[in-house]
């Protein structure tokens, strides 16, 4: 009986493919699976926003919004990051609410509860109502913001929550902030804040520091 080493090269190849074809097929399938998995994870990471900025209102100029997103990204993101700042609009109306407004209100509430929002810019009434429920991070409890908050006392929006009778800074008046004016946004009576359960708190803080220092 011939041993494997006695076989010709052609016979060896035939032998390997015959006896190990299923192993090789499984290995190829595993390689394809792992490659697709890596690509999927990489693409998912790329599509995950660096930071979301949720604005109550309607978008006016998409080209201007895109340019603004890229500019803010360049100022707060690490050089090798592929993620970008994303601005989302929510046409929420507390008075005379229509179906579109109701749908966006529900969407906003779901994302808020899930921690998928980061920074918001809302009408004062809506912001304070949500702040009372504890949805926003007390900015004066973030050490990274202590220096800038000391310099903008008149911009501070203070409030209490249903569970905490102590007054804290939960928001910042958005009016006349240069960064938001570059976005072409109407900031009259609007307040900026950080979601308490934001998954991107570090970048949210960086954004607040940026707009207050510009």
What's 139's domain CATH number? 3.40.190.10
Q: What is the residue-wise DSSP string for 130-164?
A: HHHTT-B--GGG-GGGHHHHHH-GGGEEEEEETTE
Total number of domains constituting the chain: 2
My answer on whether 144 and 128 are in the same domain is: yes
Confidence (pTM)? 0.77
My answer on whether 178 and 144 are in the same domain is: yes
The sign of the CA dihedral 17, 19, 20, 25 is: positive
My answer on whether 54 and 113 are in the same domain is: yes
My answer on whether 105 and 203 are in the same domain is: yes
My answer on whether 98 and 202 are in the same domain is: yes
**Residues 167-179, mean pLDDT to the nearest whole number:** 94
Q: What is the pLDDT of residues 17-45, one digit of tens each?
A: 555 555 545 555 665 555 554 444 444 44
In the three-class reduction of DSSP (H, G, I as helix; E, B as strand; rest coil), residue 3 is classed as: coil
**Residues 175-196, mean pLDDT to the nearest whole number:** 92
Rg (CA), the chain: 26
My answer on whether 35 and 117 are in the same domain is: no
Query: Which residue segment(s) compose the domain that 198 sits in?
Result: 49-213
H or E element in which residue 56 lies: strand 51-56
Q: What is the four-CA torsion angle of 147, 138, 192, 213, rounded to 10 degrees? A: 10
Task: Give the span between the Cα atoms of 125 and 74, in whole angstroms.
Answer: 32
My answer on whether 158 and 98 are in the same domain is: yes
Q: pLDDT averaged over the chain? A: 83
Task: Give the span between the Cα atoms of 15 and 168, in whole angstroms.
Answer: 76
My answer on whether 175 and 71 are in the same domain is: yes
My answer on whether 24 and 117 are in the same domain is: no
pLDDT at 99: 86
My answer on whether 73 and 167 are in the same domain is: yes
């Amino acid at each position: 009986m011939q041993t494997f080493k006695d076989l010709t090269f052609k016979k060896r190849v035939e032998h390997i493919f015959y006896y190990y074809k299923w192993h090789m097929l499984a290995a190829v399938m595993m390689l394809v699976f792992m490659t697709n998995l890596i690509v999927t994870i990489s693409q998912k990471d790329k599509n995950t926003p660096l930071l979301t900025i949720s604005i109550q209102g309607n978008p006016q100029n998409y080209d201007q919004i895109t340019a603004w997103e890229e500019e803010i990204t360049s100022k707060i993101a690490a050089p090798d990051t592929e993620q970008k700042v994303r601005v989302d609009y929510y046409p929420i109306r507390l008075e005379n609410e229509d179906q579109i407004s109701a749908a966006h209100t529900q969407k906003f509430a779901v994302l808020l509860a899930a921690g998928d929002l980061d920074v918001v810019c809302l009408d004062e009434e809506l912001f304070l109502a949500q702040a009372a429920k504890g949805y926003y991070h007390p900015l004066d409890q973030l050490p990274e913001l202590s220096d800038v908050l000391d310099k903008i006392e008149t911009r501070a929006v203070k409030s209490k929550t249903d569970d905490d009778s102590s007054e804290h800074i939960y928001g910042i008046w958005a009016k006349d902030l240069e960064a938001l004016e570059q976005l072409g946004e109407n900031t009259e009576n609007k307040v900026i804040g950080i979601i308490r359960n934001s998954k991107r708190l570090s970048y949210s803080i960086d954004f607040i520091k940026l707009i207050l220092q510009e």
